[in-house]
Amino acid sequence: MVTSEHTLPVQSGIAPGHVTDCTMGPTSLDHFLKACAAHALPVTVRAVVYDSSLDAHGISQFLQAKTITPVIALNPRRGDHPRPTGTASQVKDYGVPLCPAGVPMRRHSYAPRQHRLSYNCPVKRPTRREGRVQWIAHVQECPHQALCQPHTQMGPVVSVRTSDDPRLYPPLPRDSATFKELMARRTGCERSNSFKKVASRLGERPCRSATQFLIRLSLVSLLEHACAWLAENRKRGEGEAPMVTPRQEAVA
């Protein structure tokens, strides 16, 4: 586990070869949360970013049970397709409901207690005019060139219960800007792993003992933090330049 800002490790561990990433991911997170609670650290995990190899119902349910927003890439190899839930009748790839004209609907609100996402007509959007919020219908954007429910302010309105299928209907939609921004930060974990495996040569398995390997892994993680602290001091003009070898500079 690494932080999103500086991509520094906050939780590291090893496991036997038969343990998959799908198991190590939530297990590592659970150990981290328990360690923070045991030491009374004021740490709040609001979101966790995983790649598609950890796309599973159990992991999504595990994160939501801990009030953590799951940011997990959808695994296309699973062969599952989004299924309508709630009052939605048809959906697109990422589970966004489609209006009667076949256009992805506009996300209106999310009720976390009820685990319910609400969507409204894609051509009816709110705007502010003369200091007041008004709903404007852009009829020209509709393929039918007509409103399905001209007598309603937002309609048609549909809801999707994320608890019915938290994997395909996450509380944070996969097509949202926030989801894409968080997913882009996932590469920080890969950079941290590269520093350990390549620059520090842990990938060459310098020892066979799991205990000794974990000690080396912990020391390398401390080295990452030390290099980041020294680099930050150098930017501020404090202290001396960090003593980093050319091999480490190439990785950084």
Query: Residue 242: what pLDDT?
Result: 47
In this predicted structure, what is the pLDDT of residue 21? Answer: 81
Which candidate, 224, 226, 252, places its Cα nearest to that of 240? Answer: 226
Q: Is the pTM of this model over 0.85?
A: no
Per residue in 199-238, pLDDT (tens digit) is: 788 877 777 888 888 888 888 888 888 888 888 888 887 6
Strands 132-137, 47-50: pairing kind: unpaired
Q: Which helix (H) or strand (E) holds 128?
A: strand 124-129
The pLDDT score that the predictor gives to residue 39 is 92
Confidence class for position 189, pLDDT limits 50, 70, 90: confident
Give the tokens for residue 199. Answer: 């620059």
Q: Is the pLDDT of residue 149 over 80?
A: yes
In the structure, what pLDDT confidence band is assigned to residue 140 with cuts at 50, 70 and 90?
Answer: very high
Domain map (residue ranges) of the chain: 84-164
Check residue 79 and give its pLDDT.
Answer: 60
* Mean per-residue pLDDT of the chain: 82
C-alpha span between 3 and 246 (Å, rounded): 25
Look at residue 38 in the predicted model and tell me its pLDDT: 93
The per-residue pLDDT for range 13-62, each reduced to its tens digit, is 888 878 888 888 899 999 999 999 999 999 889 999 998 888 888 898 89
